[in-house]
Every structure is written in C-alpha cells, then in structure tokens.
Amino acid sequence: MNKDKFKHGEELFCPGHRACPGCGAALTSKLVTEATGPKTILSMPTGCMEVTTTPYPESAWGISWIHNIFENSAAVAGGIETAYKSFSKRGKEGYMDYEDVNFVVLAGDGATFDIGIRSLSGMMERGHDVLYICYDNEAYMNTGIQRSSSTPIGAATTTSPAGKESFGENIHKKDMPSIAAAHGLRYVATASVAYPEDFKKKINKALETEGPKYIQVFAPCPRGWKHESKNTIDIARLAVETGLYPIFELEDGQLTNVRKIKDRKPVEEYLKAQGRFKHLFKKDGGGEVVENIQKIADMNAERIGIDK
C-alpha cells in the first residue's frame, strides 16, 4: 500500500500521553506512526498503550485509532480491511481509497502470544491485508507485571516470583515469529527500539507486501524490568548483542536478512542490568540458570546465524 507523506515535524503520536519515562512501547508507537503516515487505521487491544494514550476524552493519536478488547484486535482489523475493500469496489463515498489505507494492529505480547492468538491466527489464515505489530515487553505490564508466554526463563514477575523454591519464570519464551511464518506469511520480521531506522524500514517493507504480515519489536519496560528509564535503549541493544533477541527477516518462510553481531557479549551483561534477574546472582543455583540462558543465546546464534 502507498502512504501519503505528511509534513515534516507533524506528530502522529503526540506528546502528553501517560506512559512511564523510558517506555519502550511508547517509543514503538511513535516509530510506527512515523513509518505508516496519516492514512492509517490502527487497531489496539487493551494494554499499556491503550490506557496511557487514550484516557477519555483525550487521545495521543493523530491517526484513525480503534480500541478493541484484549482478544480480538486482529479480527477487528481484518473486518475493517474487508469493509474498506468492499466499499472501494462499490465506489462508496466518504471513505479513503482502499489502496491508500494502511491497516495496522499494534498490540502487546499478552494480547498477541496469549489472549489474542486465536484471533491473530484466524486473521493470518484468512489472508487479510493487515500488518500486525507486537510490542514485546515480555509480561502483562498494565495489570501488574504478570508473566506471559513471552516472559523469558529466569525473569521474576508477580506470577512467576523468585523465592526459596523458584528462580522466576521456568517456561521458555514462545517463538511467535516462527508461528506467524508457519501460517504461510510472505513477510515476518523482528526488530528493536534500539535500531529505529531498521524498524521503520521493516514497517515500510511490510506495508508494500500484500496479505498479512507480522513484526515483533523488542520494547523494554523500566517498571517491569526494574531498570532506570535512561537505560532503555542500552538494554534493548544488549538483548541483540548477546543473541537473546536476534533481529532478522523471513520472506516466504525463508531467512533473508540477519543483523550480524561481532564478538557476542555474555548474557550476564544483559541480565545484571535488570532487577528482574537480580536473584540469579544472589541465590545458590542461580549460576546454573544463567548458564542455561547463555545456552539459549548460543542456540539462537547457531539457528539464525547471527555471528559474524
């Protein structure tokens, strides 16, 4: 789809929202609107960005925006896309031309990996021309930092707490990009707020690809991850540089582009920068969990080929 250029400096994700300082999801939202432009209809389920950007009667969005319940943002976006396609064929007046509209979902990992996965799978299966973007902050941050199926091994959350009998989360992070690719999508990608231009290029590439497409962007949460707000970008970059969050593209199921890393950093550098992992360095047995996390990074590197 084509998008009209908007005036330089025009904000489509406006200041004055109520997200926390250093919020990776808020930065994601800004980058998404910069890439998609004004002729965008954005569907958003319940989550951090919904409650912080649209407290009635206010809104931080300079584009068409619709709030959906937790489980159905992909279905709503598919319905909107289908309606516009129908209106375009019938010459319906008062609507933007179908070919000029970007149909986008922006949702957190809880609404993507867990509660909304059935809706997302259906949208992908039906072939709607919708770009689904997941801002991945690895837990249900809005409702109290509960674990999601995106929460990584060893992380402490309110529902996977570290204690005498636990080292935090003990289930592997769900591989949503592979699940999306298994639906036959022509374009799937991962990105990070630490590399904004790469993220925006991928959004534009996805919008030029017909049919459903999926981008997952790494978006640290200072409150949930227990790190200083000023360190959001540094932590996001460390996730990539350790191999814990590889950056790549899949086109027609084939790996076509990988961000290579020279001299990968040990996972300890990433883990020690966040309070949600501090127990791993204080409790007996924590070292074994750190070793397992290093193995995950090493397996990612081998599987995706990120080492230079």
What are the sequence ranges of the domains in the chain? 24-304
pLDDT (tens digit, 9 = 90+) per residue, 199-227? 999 999 999 999 999 999 999 999 999 99
212 SS3 class: coil
What's residue 99's pLDDT? 86
Helix locations, the chain, DSSP H: 24-36, 48-53, 73-90, 109, 117-126, 176-181, 196-207, 222-225, 232-241, 267-271, 286-304
Task: Measure the CA–CA gap between 127 and 214, rounded to whole angstroms.
Answer: 12
Q: Which CATH class is domain 24-304?
A: alpha beta
- Res. 301: pLDDT tops 80: yes
What's residue 90's pLDDT? 66
67 SS3 class: strand
What's residue 97's pLDDT? 80
Task: Measure the CA–CA gap between 178 and 234, rounded to whole angstroms.
Answer: 26
CA 184, 188, 117: angle at the middle one, nearest 5?
70
Task: Measure the CA–CA gap between 304 and 264, rounded to whole angstroms.
Answer: 14
Range from 95-104, 137-146, 166-175, 299-308 carrying the lowest mean pLDDT = 95-104
Ranges of beta strands (E only) in 46-193 are 64-68, 102-108, 131-136, 162-163, 166-167, 187-192
Task: Measure the CA–CA gap between 33 and 39, rounded to whole angstroms.
Answer: 10
CA 35, 38, 41: angle at the middle one, nearest 5?
95
- Res. 229: pLDDT tops 90: yes
pLDDT (tens digit, 9 = 90+) per residue, 48-92? 999 999 999 999 999 999 999 999 999 999 999 999 988 776 666
What's residue 19's pLDDT? 97
- Res. 115: pLDDT tops 50: yes
Residue 140 pLDDT level (bands cut at 50, 70, 90): very high
* Nearest CA among 92, 26, 62, 34 for reference residue 233: 26
